[in-house]
Structure formats: C-alpha cells, structure tokens
C-alpha cells in the first residue's frame, strides 16, 4: 500500500504513519515525488490495507498494493527515472546505444569489437560471459575469464559494460566486473534472481520474458524495486509469435505502453528480436522513432565465426551506417514521448 501525503504534511504526520506501519510489521520505503512525501508499506497483513489511513492527519490519498500501486508505476512517481552509470544517462531524452558481441569469445574479439562500436558512437558495451543456452551442450560462455576481459574493455574504452547474470549465487561476482547487470528473457520470472539484483546498487537491465505480458514484465521490475534497487531499464527483445520469418516478434507497442504505465526508461534489442541481420536496421530505427531511450545491438567483426547468434550480428560498417540513421531519427523527433499526448 502506498500512502501519498499532502504537500503540506508535517514531518510529525509522516512519522505517525511510519510508526503505524511498523506496528503492522510492514517493510517501509519513503520517497518524495513532486514535493509530496510518499510512504510505501509492504506487508501481508490485511489489517494494513483495511486500516483507516485516510482519516489520519496529513494523508492525501492511499493507493492499495494493486496494479496502480507499484513503485515502478507512473502513479507512484510521475517524473521519468534516469538511470546513470559512468556518465551515461538512460531516460533523460537522449539516445543510448549499447553494442558489442553477443558472447565474449576471446580477448582479441572483445577488444576489437569494443573499439569499433565506441568509434561509431556506442555509449555502452555489451558482451556476455555467462550464456543461457537452450541446450546444455551449446557454448555456455567463458565465465569468470570473460568477466576479466570485460573489465579490461571498460578500462581501455572508458565506457560502461553490460553483462548478463544467470544465477543468484553469481550476482556479486558479475557485479564486481560489470557496470550494468542484465536479466535475460529466460529469467524474467526467476524471482530469486530478481530479488538478488534488487539488493544491489548497480543498474539492472530487465529483458522482457519471451511470452510475458507487459503487466507481468512490470511486476518483475517491481520485484527488483521492492528490494531497494530503483535503477531499472526495461528492455523489449521480441515476443513469441506464430510466424517463423523472424526469431521473435518485436512488440514495438511495448515502448509507449511501458512509458505510459511506469516511470522507467525503455530500450529495445532488435538483434535478438529479429535473429537475422537484414531486419536489424529497420527495427532499430522503428524503436527510436517509437520513443525508446536506447537500443542494444549485436555487432561482430566476423559473424561467420561467432560462437553464439552470428546470423543476427551487424558487420562493423553496417553498424556505422545504422548509427547515423538512428541519430537522424532521434534529432527529427525533439520529444517523441510528448507527441503521444502524454504530459
């Protein structure tokens, strides 16, 4: 349940609310939004929901812990969240491109690709050390050795690096190397993992589950926020559909839908959505035009040698051309979200 205080509520009035919630055994978060203090109390006691909160002095309104009451929701905080790391700001109206190989295969491959994409304009570098593969016999990533390569890449390029985390027991390890933790599509409903990244202070990119509704995806973000980590970027990466033409169906509507329902930034991964190189540029341009805060692109200097997802990786020159197009689209639209008619 979320209790929004009057703008003029006194600190004593806020304290009284907090005390009551503590008596009910609630887990309490306090934040402010537009000059109002907002107290959020999580408890399984039905008493909390039923208590006559609105009768207490200083309370403006009470939002039950239902859909509208999520901490990641627009109702909870109307300003956009800006997620920051090493000077990169996602969600402030600028365009962020994260690029790199799907998997870290070697020091040389990773460094070569990182230099290429940074030169072309990428602000952030991707590359995974742990890969969740459908078959147990497929290449599963270099593990800790890959993370060390990633750290070297950050050192050399000065750009933040993003890496996937698969296991709650490895969150600290990955977090000690990567600047942004990524939850992949297979683990969007892995709540033990969501809770664990929720206890970190690093930004988290939360990919949408392959067959998750927008609501379920936002609920997954709430698991992270509820543990104390509000630095969440939502990443649309295509959903399961019936058409075999592309690997997944990029749900472009997810961009405005998440923007309407939450205050979180949204990125799009057209590479994993398409699964084939010849669609990536169209989908990336569409994502930026739809209002996404950024895109994440697979790039590989020699895709035919890639150990994972080579057919979807752009070649370096294709990536450069795409960067120019994306910047052109972003400039053409001074305020993409506003033109949705939203405040």
CB of 317 to a second copy, least distance (A): 9
Between 153 and 273, name the residue whose CB sits nearer to a second copy.
273
Between 9 and 299, name the residue whose CB sits nearer to a second copy.
299
Q: How many CB atoms lie within 10 A of CB 279?
A: 18
CB of 143 to a second copy, least distance (A): 12
Distance CA 102, CA 117 (A): 13
Q: Is the separation of the CB atoms in 233 and 265 below 8 Å?
A: yes
Q: Which of 117, 252, 295, 308 binds a second copy (CB under 8 A)?
A: 252
Give the bridge partners for 299, in sequence order: 314
* Residues between 253 and 292 with contacts to a second copy, criterion CB under 8 A: 253, 255-257, 260, 273-274, 277-279, 281-283, 285-291
Binding to a second copy by residue 47, rule CB under 8 A?
no
Distance CA 291, CA 89 (A): 15
How many residues bind to a second copy according to rule CB under 8 A?
80
Distance CA 86, CA 77 (A): 24
* Residues between 178 and 237 with contacts to a second copy, criterion CB under 8 A: 186-187, 189-193, 209-211, 213-216, 219, 222-223, 226
Strands (E), 139-218: 161-164, 180-183, 204-207
| Strand 2-5 relative to strand 36-42, pairing | antiparallel
Of 40, 38, 42, give the one whose Cα is nearest residue 79.
Answer: 38
CB of 272 to a second copy, least distance (A): 13
Give phi and psi for 251, each to the nearest 5: -95, 85
Distance CA 294, CA 343 (A): 21
Between 100 and 336, name the residue whose CB sits nearer to a second copy.
336
In SS3 terms, 123-160 reads as: CEEECECCCCCCCCCCCCCCCHHHHHHHHHHHHHHCCC
CB of 283 to a second copy, least distance (A): 6
Give phi and psi for 73, each to the nearest 5: -80, 155
CB of 154 to a second copy, least distance (A): 25
* Residues between 65 and 124 with contacts to a second copy, criterion CB under 8 A: 65
* Residues between 300 and 339 with contacts to a second copy, criterion CB under 8 A: 318, 321-322, 325, 328-329, 331-333, 336, 339
Residue 208 has which token pair? 């949408």
* Residues between 164 and 183 with contacts to a second copy, criterion CB under 8 A: 166-170
Between 182 and 277, name the residue whose CB sits nearer to a second copy.
277
Between 125 and 266, name the residue whose CB sits nearer to a second copy.
266
CB of 232 to a second copy, least distance (A): 13
Between 9 and 288, name the residue whose CB sits nearer to a second copy.
288
Q: Which of 92, 112, 148, 251 binds a second copy (CB under 8 A)?
A: 251
């Amino acid at each position: 349940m979320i209790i929004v205080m009057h703008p003029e509520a006194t600190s004593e009035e806020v304290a009284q609310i907090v005390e009551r919630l503590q008596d009910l055994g609630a887990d309490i978060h306090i934040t402010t939004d537009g000059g109002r203090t907002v107290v959020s109390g999580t408890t399984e006691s039905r008493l909390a929901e039923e208590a006559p909160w609105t009768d207490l002095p200083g309370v403006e309104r009470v939002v039950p812990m239902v859909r509208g009451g999520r901490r990641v929701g627009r109702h909870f905080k109307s300003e956009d969240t800006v997620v920051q790391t090493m000077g990169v700001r996602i969600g402030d109206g600028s365009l962020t491109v994260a690029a790199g190989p799907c998997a870290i295969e070697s020091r040389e491959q990773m460094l070569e690709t990182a230099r290429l994409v940074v030169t072309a304009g990428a602000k952030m570098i991707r590359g995974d050390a742990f890969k969740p593969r459908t078959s147990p016999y497929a290449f599963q990533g270099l593990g800790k050795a890959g993370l060390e390569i990633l750290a070297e890449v950050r050192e050399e390029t000065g750009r933040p690096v993003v890496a996937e985390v698969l296991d709650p027991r490895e969150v600290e390890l990955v977090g000690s190397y990567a600047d942004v933790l990524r939850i992949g599509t297979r683990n969007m409903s892995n709540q033990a993992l969501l809770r664990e990244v929720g206890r970190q202070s690093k930004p988290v990119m939360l990919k949408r589950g392959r067959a998750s509704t927008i609501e379920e995806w936002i609920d997954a973000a709430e698991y992270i926020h509820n543990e104390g980590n509000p630095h969440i970027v939502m990443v649309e990466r295509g959903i399961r559909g019936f058409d075999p033409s592309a690997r997944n169906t990029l749900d472009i509507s997810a961009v405005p839908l998440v923007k309407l329902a939450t205050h979180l930034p949204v990125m799009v991964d057209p590479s994993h959505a398409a699964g084939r190189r010849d669609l990536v540029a169209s989908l990336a341009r569409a994502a930026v035009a739809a209002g996404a805060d950024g895109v994440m692109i697979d790039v590989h200097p020699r895709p035919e040698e890639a150990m994972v997802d080579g057919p979807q990786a752009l070649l370096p020159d294709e990536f450069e051309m795409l960067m120019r197009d994306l910047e052109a689209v972003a400039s053409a639209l001074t305020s993409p979200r506003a033109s949705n008619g939203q405040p």
